[in-house]
Chains A and B, each alone.
Chain A
Amino acid sequence: MIKKIITSRDFILFAIIVFGVVVVGIANPFFVKPSSLSDVLTDTSILIILALSQMLVILIRAIDLSVASNLALSGMLISLLSTIYPELPVIFFILLSCSIGTFLGVLNGVSIAILKVPFIVTTLGTLSIYRGLIYFVSDGKQVYSSEFSEDFLALIHYKFLSLSFLFWIAVAVFILMYILLNHTRFGRNLYSLGGNPDAAKYIGINENKYIILAYSLSGFFAGLCGYLWVARYSVASTQIAIGFELTVISACVVGGISVMGGVGTVIGCTLGALLIGFIRNALPAVDISQFWQLAISGAIILIAIIINTKTEQRKEKTIMVE
């Protein structure tokens, strides 16, 4: 039993993170102060949320490349609106951002499930389209921090147990996803659909429905992160989160979500996001040059993936008792 836990990939990932924190802590004690660590968590929260929602899609053998554009577009739309109606409550903007994100996600889902446009083509297309729409709605201009209402930005700075609002949102999403994927029929059916789509037909899982739902959820959380991102950095522009979808996908892959579908855990995915977030924060803290930072984070991702495949290898049944 203990051996099983130690060789599980979630545990190995966890160990890598702890080991990394210790090493960096020795090199730069400032980095392991509670306040710095809590900053790392805050910094990684959006990545965790997006990685978990991306996981839903990867589980069914697809990918959503449009998340970062979706996030930026939803974020821009509510920012523009908030400059016009600063008196509206912030919860309105959050819900609106989520709804816009969901709508954009549904478009992806419908294109893939109903129109049968392959997911790569669809989401690569919407990646550009959604990004392009930001220029269209904003005329290429930015919304600066001074233009947001105080309410709009206040929520994000709220702290509980000296951990940030963002972090607690990530915790809530984690719990939600954990229940969704482990304790609901919907979640379990995602696993079976991704694990063996042919067999799923024989047990009556409606593939199209699940594709649309998975992309809608991915869109929903992209929309949520749209608000979080804009509020956290107090700026909305055409450039926010550009290329972030690749960070999200690498977090999933490092976390052991198989792009072949049907494999991966919520805990693994979260650890994957934490590892990537940690690397992005730690390397600057130990004074490594920009160039090496990229190479090192690439290498760490590769190592994590190699460990994943190693732990995945099939065990053999005992036939002969010696």
Chain B
Amino acid sequence: MKLELKKISKFFPGIKALQKVDFKLKDNSIHALLGENGAGKSTLVKILCGVYQPDEGKIFLNNIEHNITNPLESLSLGISAIHQESVMFDELSVTENIFIGNHITKPNNLVDWQQMERKTKELLGNLEADIRPNEKIKDLSIAQRHIVQISRSLIHDADIVIMDEPTASLSQKEIDELYSIIRNLKKQNKSIIFISHKLDEIMEVCDEFTVLRDGEFINTDLITNTNKDKLVTYMVGREIDQIFPKKQVKIEQEIFNVKNLYKKTQFKNINFNLRKKEILGFYGLVGSGRTEIMKTIFGINKYDEGEVFFKGKKLKIRKPNDAIQNGIVYLSEERQNLGMTGLMSVKDNINMAVMDKNSDYLIINQLKEIRNAEELQDKLNIKVSYWSQLAQSLSGGNQQKTVIAKWLSTKPEILILDEPTKGIDVKSKSAVHEFMGELVDTGMSIIMISSELTEILGMCDRVVVMYKGLVKNILDVSNTTSEEIVKLASGE
């Protein structure tokens, strides 16, 4: 047995994150770790990496007991990880980010930049990534950052590689590349712990699985002995329908129109419209310009040419507040950085954007705040342990849901969602989808960027397919196939 955890427990004040969890990782195996948001997956990873120390239990590596007290020790034992949170240093170069905490040094103890750069180049070349070693991380796209994180876990030649939701913000092409990296690692006799909420990919790449629920061990077995429905039942504790059929709504007149939007080096000839009660999808490879377009429409960035019409009137949006005043809201894909105040409670985060609605004569009405928070929390299935829990101590998926709840409270007319369900568990995902259906039914229109084809096909009325800053085509979802969309998105 490569790795064995026996009766591991971890408690946070008021929270039992893990309770007597057993976990076994075989040699040469890709092991899926499954569970709902807040089940304790990332906590387990952090214990293995020495970020947290367990309150109880033992860790055995190749049948020898180890006490892992800090991340460097974990690395020297041959464990490396891609964490769910971004462990990146924006101002430092790609090379340095890959070697961070573990710089190669020359015999005289000075850092050996040349060798580090050479190794980085070699590794990035092997991954066929178009990233220069001396670029700063802040200049990279989200997908490229991901590749740097992956490179970091590979460079140390670790025996056990842990990946906590590595595919959450990648599109199909990059995901396929990641799969081949993972399979390659397995060929080199390494074991991988793979965390994901996408059951299809679990079935495709993994050999074994372990399910956690509310911090407790539920089941472990070979993937070949199970199926998706069974996995969901283990995770949720009861059978649920995975896919809510989208509510049928009658689409009305056009309310939003973008004409010839152009921004130097970013995008060109962007034309599309949005109708009342419609869900319009945006599909494309990561980095195809989808997010940039939405950011300019929302006023975060400026465009060079083009016009935007809202209900027939020309809109001049210079800053996000102009958009919000007009009833247009954008949910960024970088939620932890841009969408949330970690040191505020979940309730305050949800209510942040609607303080005036919750106030009577300028005084905030606590009762209204609680009601609003409770309603959304229920709807989106946000798992908090107590009312004043700080948003930063929530699990990754629950943080995402908190931000979604915050923007939904503003009841906008146009809601722009950038990867709304990334990192969200199966059950909550269908809750979000169901909620989107309800929202358009009440008269809202939604633009949704998503890298998941099933989500696009299941939720949208039309889909805009993008490739390198250009709109390739706008397709009726009822009238197209996933093959057609993928082809367009890869520029064919």
**A residues apposed to B, CB below 8 Å:** 179, 182-185, 188-189, 191-192, 195-196, 198-206, 262-263, 314-322
Residues of B within 8 A of A320 (CB): 265-268, 289, 468-470
**B294-344 interface (Cβ within 8 A of A):** none
> By the criterion CB–CB under 8 Å, are A319 and B287 in contact?
yes
The residues in B between 57 and 105 inclusive whose CB is less than 8 angstroms from any CB of A are: 70-75, 83, 85-92, 96, 100-103, 105
Q: A202-B51, A202-B71, A322-B268 are in contact. List 17 more A-B contacts (CB 8 A).
A: A185-B105, A188-B96, A188-B100, A191-B89, A192-B89, A192-B100, A199-B89, A200-B101, A201-B51, A202-B87, A262-B89, A262-B91, A317-B140, A317-B141, A318-B266, A319-B265, A320-B468
Contact across chains for B139 and A196 when beta carbons are under 8 A apart: no
**Counting CB contacts under 8 A, is B288 at the interface?**
yes
Contact status B265-A205, CB under 8 Å: no
Mark out the residues of chain B between 402 and 434 whose CB falls within 8 Å of any chain A CB in the assembled complex.
none
Q: Whole-angstrom distance from the CB of A309 to the nearest CB of chain B? A: 14
Which 7 A-B residue pairings sit nearest by Cβ, starting from the closest?
Answer: A320-B469, A203-B101, A204-B71, A204-B72, A199-B87, A319-B469, A183-B110
Mostly helix, strand, loop or mixed at chain A's interface?
loop
- Give the residues in chain A near B289, CB-CB below 8 Å: 319-320
Given contacts A179-B110, A203-B101, A204-B70, contact A195 B265 (CB under 8 A): no
Tell me how many residues of B have a C-beta within 8 Å of chain A.
43
B364 at interface, CB cutoff 8 A:
no
Is the Cβ of A189 less than 8 Å from the Cβ of B101?
A: yes
User: Which chain B positions have C-beta within 8 A of A185?
Assistant: 103, 105, 111
Give the most central of A182, A189, A195, A204: most B CB within 10 Å. A204
In the complex, what's the smallest C-beta–C-beta distance from B290 to chain A, in angstroms? Answer: 10
CB distance from A264 to the nearest CB of B (A): 9
List 13 A-B residue pairs with CB atoms under 8 Å apart, sorted by A's residue number.
A184-B109, A192-B96, A195-B90, A195-B92, A196-B89, A199-B87, A199-B88, A202-B49, A202-B51, A203-B72, A204-B50, A319-B265, A319-B292
A321 contacts which chain B residues (CB < 8 A)? 468
Tell me how far the C-beta of A35 lies from the nearest C-beta in chain B, rounded to whole angstroms: 38
Chain A residues with Cβ below 8 Å from B141 are: 317
The distance in angstroms between the C-alpha atoms of A316 and B71, with both chains bound, is 34
Alpha-carbon distance A314/B292, docked complex (angstroms): 14
In the assembled complex, the Cα of A205 lies from the Cα of B140 at a distance in Å of: 24
Q: Is B138 an interface residue (CB 8 A)?
A: yes
Among A192, A314, A322, point to the contact of B101 (Cβ < 8 A): A192
Residues of B within 8 A of A200 (CB): 101
Tell me the nearest residue of chain A to B290, going by C-beta.
A319
CA distance A207 to B139 in the complex (A): 27
